[in-house]
């Protein structure tokens, strides 16, 4: 009998995942990951992880499976929280959920599971896994979940073949309403529980407040760049080759405070991210202001009025060569190679047609349509049909 360790999070998805595995005849053990207990960075007075671990325990009890809590807060702080502060400080916007899967759930947690004699680790992600033989070797595929509304393959875009080999995603074939229905029929305490918001495993935290504990406020100015600014009429040079053209189109515009007018003040450019609309506290404009760029060195935020502002849009992005990741190693592009894909630059974004171009220094992703708020530090993931082939950090 194969042994599976389920990451029980205290939510409905992992609860139903554990039940389905039991039905399929696996020996199932539930493990709750405790990822935070650093009181120097308080998050809120509520203690969601206690409530969640309690729910996970009740579910395990109901399903009749062994249960324990593992404390991964040290690794979490080192690999996720410190990384987040580092990235924000540099004016990039990290994605803790993607990292959490790569570094915690499918690495630290997976190692613990294997030490407990597990054959597989399972989670409540809405995605699917498939496999086939190629040149006498097994190739694992990460596929989108059946529920288009809930597909979470994007969050797993940094997994490797080794990690996929040992992973199971029992609810990938189901929709969210079907999952809730099963939980209700089983009378699980998590059946009606709302989906968790906030940082992966930290619980109900609001990001700005979290960041303010490490990144000290520093007053700076908000500069608004007009839509019709001459800066957007930059002359397009003659390009000697495709790479030069891609580089030109992937470069972001460098603003200075002379390019616009001062609209107000902010408490630190590193708290803001591209495309952000809330938290600027500037009134008196016809359309809402959006952050179009931040300069953490000079501590200036640049904004544009309206969501169609030209400063928000670009159609080419670049990934540095050491930040390119292929799940499908067998499809890896060599220098000069290109590939038609569909790609997304954030979770829940519809897939968009794009072409990958591999160069000596990295990878360009050229979208057919301009994309809003391409954000450094976030992940771009590329697909063919419903298979996620690879991903990279936007540079």
At 137, which CATH number? Answer: 3.40.50.620
**Coil, helix or strand at residue 71:** strand
Q: Which strands, in side-by-side order, build the sheet including 261-266?
A: 261-266, 220-224, 300-305, 289-295
Average pLDDT over residues 333-351: 97
pLDDT of residue 152: 96
pLDDT for residue 111 is more than 70: yes
User: Is residue 22 in a domain?
Assistant: yes
| pLDDT range class, residue 201, cuts 50, 70, 90 | very low
| pLDDT range class, residue 279, cuts 50, 70, 90 | confident
Mean pLDDT is lowest, of 81-90, 153-162, 199-208, 278-287, for 199-208
**Which residues, other chains included, contact 150 with Cβ-Cβ below 8 Å and sequence gap of 6+?**
126, 175, 176
pLDDT for residue 278 is more than 60: yes
Mean pLDDT is lowest, of 46-55, 93-102, 268-277, 280-289, for 46-55
Domain residue limits at 42 = 3-212
pLDDT for residue 199 is more than 80: no
**pTM for this entry:** 0.93
Mean pLDDT is lowest, of 210-219, 316-325, 376-385, for 210-219
User: Is residue 48 in a domain?
Assistant: yes
| pLDDT range class, residue 44, cuts 50, 70, 90 | low
Average pLDDT over residues 126-148: 97
Taking a C-beta distance cutoff of 8 angstroms, is the pair 188, 62 a contact?
yes
pLDDT for residue 43 is more than 90: no
pLDDT of residue 73: 87
Mean pLDDT of the chain: 92
As a residue count, the chain comes to: 395
Considering only residues 203 and 29, tell me which one the structure prediction assigns the higher pLDDT.
29
Percent of the chain with pLDDT over 70: 93
User: Is residue 173 in a domain?
Assistant: yes
User: Is residue 325 in a domain?
Assistant: no
Considering only residues 201 and 154, tell me which one the structure prediction assigns the higher pLDDT.
154
User: Is residue 56 in a domain?
Assistant: yes
pLDDT for residue 39 is more than 80: no
Q: Which of 244, 218, 368, 231 is nearest to 292 (CA)?
A: 231
User: Is residue 310 in a domain?
Assistant: no
pLDDT for residue 93 is more than 70: yes
Domain total of the chain: 1
Considering only residues 186 and 210, tell me which one the structure prediction assigns the higher pLDDT.
186
pLDDT of residue 213: 78
Q: Which residues are catalytic?
A: 100, 200
Taking each helix axis from N to C end, the angle separating 48-63 and 12-23, rounded to the nearest 10 degrees, works out to 20
User: Is residue 90 in a domain?
Assistant: yes
Say how far apart CA 14 and CA 63 lie, in whole Å: 12
Say how far apart CA 65 and CA 306 lie, in whole Å: 53
Average pLDDT over residues 209-216: 79
User: Is residue 61 in a domain?
Assistant: yes
């Amino acid at each position: 009998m194969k042994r599976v360790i389920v990451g029980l999070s205290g939510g409905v998805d992992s609860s139903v995942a554990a039940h389905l595995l039991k039905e399929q005849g696996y020996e199932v053990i539930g493990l709750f990951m405790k990822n935070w207990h650093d009181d120097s960075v308080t998050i809120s007075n509520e203690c969601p992880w206690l409530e969640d671990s309690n729910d996970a325990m009740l579910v395990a009890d109901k399903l009749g499976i062994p249960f324990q809590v593992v404390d991964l807060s040290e690794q979490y702080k080192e690999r996720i929280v410190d990384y987040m502060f580092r990235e924000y400080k540099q004016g990039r916007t990290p994605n803790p959920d993607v990292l959490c899967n790569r570094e915690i759930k499918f690495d630290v947690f997976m190692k613990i599971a294997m030490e407990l004699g597990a054959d597989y680790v399972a989670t409540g992600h809405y995605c699917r896994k498939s496999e086939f033989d190629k040149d006498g070797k097994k190739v694992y595929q990460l596929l989108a979940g059946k529920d288009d509304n809930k597909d979470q393959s994007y969050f797993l875009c940094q997994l490797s073949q080794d990690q996929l080999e040992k992973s199971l995603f029992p609810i990938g074939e189901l929709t969210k309403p079907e999952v809730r229905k099963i939980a209700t029929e089983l009378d699980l305490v998590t059946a009606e529980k709302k989906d968790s918001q906030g940082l992966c495993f930290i619980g109900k935290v609001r990001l700005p407040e979290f960041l303010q504990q490490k990144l000290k406020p520093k007053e700076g100015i908000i500069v608004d760049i007009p839509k019709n600014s001459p800066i957007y009429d930059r002359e397009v040079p003659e390009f000697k080759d495709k790479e030069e053209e891609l580089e030109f189109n992937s470069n972001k515009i460098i603003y200075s405070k002379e390019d616009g007018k001062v609209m107000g003040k902010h408490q630190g450019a590193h708290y803001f991210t591209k495309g952000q609309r809330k938290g600027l506290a500037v009134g008196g404009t016809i359309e809402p202001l959006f952050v179009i760029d931040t300069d953490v060195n000079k501590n200036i935020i640049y904004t544009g009025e309206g969501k169609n502002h030209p400063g928000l849009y670009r159609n080419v992005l670049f990934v540095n060569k050491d930040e390119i990741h292929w799940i499908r190693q067998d499809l890896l592009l060599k220098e000069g190679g290109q590939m038609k894909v569909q790609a997304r630059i954030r979770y829940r974004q519809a897939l968009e047609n794009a072409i990958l171009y591999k160069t000596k220094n990295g990878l360009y992703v050229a979208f057919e349509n301009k994309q809003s708020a391409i954000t450094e530090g976030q992940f771009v993931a590329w697909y063919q049909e419903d298979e996620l082939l690879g991903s990279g950090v936007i540079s």
